[in-house]
Structure 1
């Protein structure tokens, strides 16, 4: 019972760290990165669909991304979704078959703004990990068939697990901040 609770908590914490890393990848640096565009939802025949499922993304130059839709009818909707996506600052140009997206140079103020966004995403991930810890602790406290010593040992293990995952998020956050502030 205790091992099941700890295994489930570890799995959920690992997923929270992965989600945080994916979120960090969507915040742009000085380069055009296809991961920036993965979370853009396009209204495809009335259904919000991730851009990665509607088009191929290539990165021919450092600040340019080429989007090739699988369905040419979605071209206008893809372009509209890119323009309306917050915190991107990209300017798409449509030539009828592909969309070229040119990313502007980042100013120092814009870089600092991105750092704030990344820190907020990191804090959200830490909150998610703490919520997993709280639920696991409640589950451990609810176990009746084991002794108090085993529950106390499991809680220490849970605390160590929480600390490890929070540190992983802090490390990813530190790397992303350094990447954003690099000129």
Structure 2
């Protein structure tokens, strides 16, 4: 029973770390990255659909991204969604079959702003991990009457170590992303 609680908590914490890494990829650096555009919602026949499901994304140059829609009728909507996407500052140009997106150079102030955004996402991930720890601790406390105080206290120590390991993983990902953002 204790092992089940710890295993579930570990799995959920690992997922929280993975979500944080995915969120970090949505914050742009100095080069065009298709991951930045994957989640941009496009109004496709009245349904908000992620751009990654509507088009092929390629980065032929460091600051250019080419968007090739699977359905040419969605071209205008895709262009509008890219132009209005927050935190990108990209200007799309449409030639009737594909959309070319030129990414502007990042200023030092903009880089620092992106670092703040990434730190916020990092803190959200840590809060999520701590909430998972709290729920697991509550589950362990509920098992005290069945397994005994010693086993529960040992499991709580394991839970703390598990929590620290996952929070450290988020911090490492944050450091890498900050270095990437501040790299000129």
**TM-score range relative to shorter protein:** over 0.9
The SS at the match of 1:145 is helix
5+ residue gaps, structure 2: none
Aligned to 2:168: 167
Deviation at residue 73 of structure 1 after TM alignment: 0.7
Deviation at residue 145 of structure 1 after TM alignment: 1.2
In 2, Cα distance between the equivalents of 1:79 and 1:127? Answer: 35
Aligned to 2:38: 38
Aligned to 2:178: 177
RMSD: 0.6
Q: Number of residue pairs matched?
A: 183
Task: List per-residue Cα deviations over 1:160-180 (Å, max 9, x = no partner).
Answer: 000000000000000100110
Structure 1 ranges of 4+ moved more than 4 A: none
Deviation at residue 83 of structure 1 after TM alignment: 1.2
Aligned to 1:82: 82
TM-score normalised by the chain length of structure 1: 0.99
Q: Does residue 1:115 correspond to 2:111, yes or no?
A: no
Aligned to 1:4: 4
TM-score normalised by the chain length of structure 2: 0.98
Aligned to 1:126: 126
5+ residue gaps, structure 1: none
